[in-house]
Amino acid sequence: MAELTPKERLQPSLLDRLTDNEPERKVEGRDLRVLSPQRLRESVRRDLAWLFNSVNLVSVQDLSGHPEAERSTLNFGLPDLSGKTTASIHVPTVEKQIRKAIWEFEPRLMKNTVRVRLLQDENSMGPNALCLVIEAELWAQPLPLRLFLRTDLNLETGEAQVTDVTGQAG
């Protein structure tokens, strides 16, 4: 197989490139500078978990007069869902808020491919939990990668668990 050009290589996110996990090593190996598709998936899953486990500024402060701040990293995260029950939230609104957060803060996912939907099955939901499926295409060369994530939201604590279920998707 031909070597990928520099433009085609999958690079770690800026945060990952700035983080030195091995400060004693003076030279980084190629495997740390270029991502495999699996490492790219894991990086996106981890970053989405961070996004979903953060409470955005709009939850505590009105930013309607500051649209740039509303789209900036000041507003990183989701609305505060802790303390809510499934009966007290409007699911389409939560789906829309999650999709908007992904659009704003995860540029590696192709915006027009992001789908967020509630998984309605008795085993997945309780009175204080939501289970959502996120489907999207992840930018990659030579072709985008299909990504399927299961996100479990604990409404009591506000904690989100994001699991890559790509291999299990039907």
The structure tokens listed for 13 are 């996110």
- Helix H or strand E segment including 48: helix 37-52
Q: What is the average pLDDT across 12-19?
A: 71
Answer whether residue 137 is part of any domain.
yes
Residue 22 in domain? no
Per-residue model confidence as pLDDT tens digits over 42-66: 999 999 999 999 999 999 999 999 9
Band the pLDDT of 165: cuts 50, 70, 90: very high
Cβ atoms of 47 and 13 closer than 8 Å: yes
Domain count of the chain?
1
Q: Which of 5-14, 60-69, 91-100, 115-124 has the lowest mean pLDDT?
A: 5-14
> Count of CB atoms within 10 A of residue 114's CB?
18
Each residue of 98-133: pLDDT tens digit? 999 999 999 999 999 999 998 876 565 667 889 999
In a domain, 126, yes or no: yes
Looking at residue 120, which CATH number applies to its domain?
A: 3.10.450.40
Q: Are 87 and 125 in contact (CB under 8 A)?
A: no
With respect to residue 123, please indicate whether it lies within any of the assigned structural domains: yes
149 located within any domain: yes
Using the predicted structure, report yes or no on whether residue 6 has a pLDDT greater than 70.
Answer: no
Which residues form the domain of 79? 33-168
89 domain-assigned: yes
In a domain, 68, yes or no: yes
pLDDT confidence tier of residue 1, bands split at 50, 70 and 90? very low
Lowest mean pLDDT segment, chosen from 25-34, 125-134, 160-169: 25-34
Q: What is the pLDDT of residue 75?
A: 93
Q: Model-level pTM?
A: 0.83
